[in-house]
Amino acid sequence: MTWRQRFDIGWRLFRPFTLTASLVPVFVGSGLAWAMGYARIGLFIAFLIASVLIQSATNMFNEYFDYKRGLDTEDMVGISGTIVRDGVAPKTVLRLGWLCIAIAVLLGVYICASTTWIIALVGIACMAVAYLYSGGPYPLAYTPFGELAAATAMGPTIVLLAFYLETGFIDGKAALVSIPIGLLIGSILLGNNIRDMDQDKVGGRRTIAILIGRHRGRILLATVFAVSYLMVIALVLWKDITPWALLVILAAPSAIFPTRQFFRFTEPAKLHSAVKGTSGHLLRFGGLMFVAFLVSVWVR
């Protein structure tokens, strides 16, 4: 096997298209703090890396435990497939996941030493969700609470932590800004579960998509997109955030594409681009919000 092939397998193991869920909340929380005149770049970089590592560990645990439970097969769409397609040893994937957690813990020690050790409690909770999402006797991914747990841990929690690390306090503005980010992170998992719902039923999962059905799941996904934009518009009208935040409206077309795909198709292979579209939409939405916060500083 060439180094290029090894790199490709390792890269897929991280499921890079999902990492927007760990990158965007850090940038949004930090961007809001920078717009308010606070900046601690060292902590920002450390927290950004730790966030990505915890997300990566979650993906690796998911790969390992879904394989062990027989849910992943070579024909499955959307999985990284390093175990079932590329022959990577399951224990190697599990160990890599724990290595990501270990590095994140070391970064967490630096972050806590620079701020407060209370953050360690939040970090432990986030890492517990990373493991329990797929691991343990009752994985969150097999229940209707998977989207909610991930959206909370990767959305408001990370946004507020990023904001706190920069400012040393939490306020209502940061909490409100975190909600649409959490909703859009949840939309990635919801879209994933709509795509995989037939296979998930066979594997014993009881996700939201399975409980409410495909059509209601599609409507819920479209509603999540709409509510996210309406919240930003409302925050601007209430003068809680800069009017530049309306730049996020430019991301709306990237929400329309996956929505149409989910309403049009049911086959997993045809919906994979739609699931990637939900992740791309989060990146555009969050990226434009980050840019809006920076612009608000430049035009003062």
165-198 tens-digit pLDDT: 999 999 999 999 999 999 999 999 999 999 999 8
CA angle, residues 250, 254, 259, in degrees to nearest 5:
135
- Rounded to two decimals, the pTM is 0.94
Residue type, 103: I
Q: What CA–CA distance (Å, rounded) separates 250 from 258?
A: 16
**How much of the chain exceeds pLDDT 90, in percent?**
70
Instruction: Record the tokens describing residue 70, joined without a space.
Output: 């027989």
Residues 46 and 111: beta-carbon distance below 8 Å: yes
pLDDT digits (tens, 9 = 90+) for 73-89: 766 666 667 888 888 89
Q: Which fold has domain 9-298?
A: Farnesyl Diphosphate Synthase (1.10.600)
pLDDT at residue 84, rounded to an integer: 84
Tally of CB atoms within 10 A around 284: 18
pLDDT tens readout for residues 240-276: 899 999 999 999 999 999 999 999 999 998 999 999 9
Long-range contacts formed by 73-76: CB under 8 A, 24+ apart? 76/196, 76/199, 76/268
* Residue-range domain boundaries for the chain: 9-298
pLDDT bin (cut points 50, 70, 90) of residue 294 is very high
Provide the residue type at 188 as one letter.
Answer: I
